[in-house]
Amino acid sequence: MPGHKGNGPLGFEKLDITEFDGADSLFSANGIIKESEENARKLFNTGATLYSCEGSSLSIRAMLYLAMINKADNQGNYVIATRNSHSAFITASALLGFDIMWLSTGKHLSCKITALDIEKALSSVDKMPFAVYVTSPDYLGNMLNIEEISKVCKKYSVPLLVDNAHGAYLRFLENDIHPISLGADMCCDSAHKTLPALTGGAYLHIAKKEDNYISLAKNAMRLFASTSPSYLILSSLDLCNKYLDSEFKDELKNAICLIKDLKNQLSFLGFLIEGDEELKITISTKDYGYYGYEIAELLKNEGIFVEFYDSDYVVLMLSAQTSNIDVEKIKIALSSIERKDKIIDTPPLISLPKKKYSIREASLMQSEEISVDLALGRALASSSVACPPAINVINAGEVFDKDIINACKYYGIDIVRVIKL
Ligand SMILES: Cc1ncc(COP(=O)(O)O)c(C=O)c1O
């Protein structure tokens, strides 16, 4: 293996190797992969950094497993989590069978909770959760105060796990605000989202002194991963280390200056920019008189493909690789769009649906697809929300009410898979 024998239509097949002697083996690494992961660990200043060739999705399942099997006696089989969690967290719940106590602000893609919200949640429960799980940055570029949240979690001896899929670069800002540096116990980073790594390249980071997690971390990754990790992705993670250790910081700083400037100019033109994240430009488009999908289409006509859009937003994701020319192109394209009257309709506030089954129970039951219009009173079996953003309006085991049906329709979900009666 591989079957292409280094020769095929793509032209780079010779780089796509497998575990032959000298190439090391990701889940039993004791050679060059071990050395490379150690280089990444030093760069991120963690207790352990593991490579994933299956994105943050794999790291998310692994970190929940690690927290779950290290559960203390006073901790129950559940996690306190923000409602805007990515679907990898939901599949982790289906696979591992933990329950979730949701924190929600009624918004679909963001959940701007504070340390006080976590304090209130932890001080009100009879049994502690085995983890607090938050997403920061989120898809719209909102960031939580991880430093304060981690202090609260430490006070209650509950590990803090952060979905930092969008924030690998945070470690390399002048002011390091990577979740591990701010006190998180574990986090995932998608290297491929904000660093120059191939799609699928990601990390699982574990904080220093977390020896229980560190000793089982490879097992945790192995439990959910393919036995054929991509050496192309591994090579890109390895080469990324070299870049992160040299010109990356300066290039990131320059790109952030350009992006900040662009944001200011767009605000001046009348665009409403949201979010705190420095590499994202999130435009709340209705204020400018357009639906997000209309702006996305206009940008596409100019050769600009946004990361995400819906009725309310377009999100552009830039990086240290973003140049003056890119920024200028975005500015010209957006400034040529004529401002119109503000669109008044607002996205629905989504209250937490009633729960009938756990995610695991619901995921293992007989199911059928029906129109969302017929779903009143039915329980969702599994969600089929597309990525991006892979964030569910309703999760498996929860019951459709009128508001949820309307919210599904608002976000373009017309067919749903419900549990058979
Ligand atoms: C917030 C968030 N978490 C996790 C993931 C999963 O990351 P990956 O695609 O690297 O598996 C994504 C992917 O879009 C995401 O947006």
**Burial of 271 from C-beta contacts in 10 A (0-12 / 13-18 / 19+):** buried
**Reported pTM:** 0.97
Mean pLDDT of the chain: 96
Asked whether the CA dihedral 335, 339, 343, 344 is positive or negative, the reply is positive
pLDDT tens digit sequence for 301-330: 999 999 999 999 999 999 999 999 999 999
CA of 163 to the centre of ligand 1 (A): 8
Q: How confident is the model at residue 30 (pLDDT cuts 50, 70, 90)?
A: very high
CA of 85 to the centre of ligand 1 (A): 10
Stated as kind and residue range, the H or E segment containing 292 is helix 292-301
Structural domains of the chain, ranges and CATH numbers in brackets: 13-244 (3.40.640.10), 248-335 (3.90.1150.10), 359-419 (3.90.105.10)
Q: How confident is the model at residue 388 (pLDDT cuts 50, 70, 90)?
A: confident
Q: What is the mean pLDDT of residues 205-233?
A: 97
Q: What is the mean pLDDT of residues 86-96?
A: 97
3 state SS for 186-255: EEEECHHHHCCCCCCCEEEEECCCCHHHHHHHHHHHHHHCCCCCCHHHHHHHHHHHHHHCCCHHHHHHHH
Instruction: Tell me the β-bridge partners of 281.
Output: 316
| Residue 184 predicted with pLDDT over 70 | yes
Stated as kind and residue range, the H or E segment containing 416 is strand 415-419
The reported pLDDT for the residue numbered 269 is 96
CA of 313 to the centre of ligand 1 (A): 18
Residues 371 and 378: their CA atoms lie apart, in Å, by 11
**Best residue among 52, 53, 56, 195 to mutate for probing ligand 1, ranked by most atoms within 8 Å of CB:** 56
CA of 86 to the centre of ligand 1 (A): 7
Would you say 173 and 278 are in contact if contact means Cβ atoms under 8 Å apart? yes
Q: What is the mean pLDDT of residues 231-240?
A: 98
Q: Helices marked H in 364-401 — which ranges?
A: none
Residues 406 and 353: their CA atoms lie apart, in Å, by 13
Q: What is the mean pLDDT of residues 53-66?
A: 98
Q: Which residues line ligand 1 (CB under 6 A)?
A: 55-57, 86, 88, 135, 139, 163, 165-166, 190, 202, 387-388, 390
Q: What is the mean pLDDT of residues 281-301?
A: 98
Would you say 220 and 65 are in contact if contact means Cβ atoms under 8 Å apart? yes
- Please provide the distance, in angstroms rounded to a whole number, between the alpha carbons at the two ends of the chain: 47
Residues 278 and 170: their CA atoms lie apart, in Å, by 9
| Residue 173 predicted with pLDDT over 80 | yes
CA of 51 to the centre of ligand 1 (A): 15
**Burial of 165 from C-beta contacts in 10 A (0-12 / 13-18 / 19+):** buried
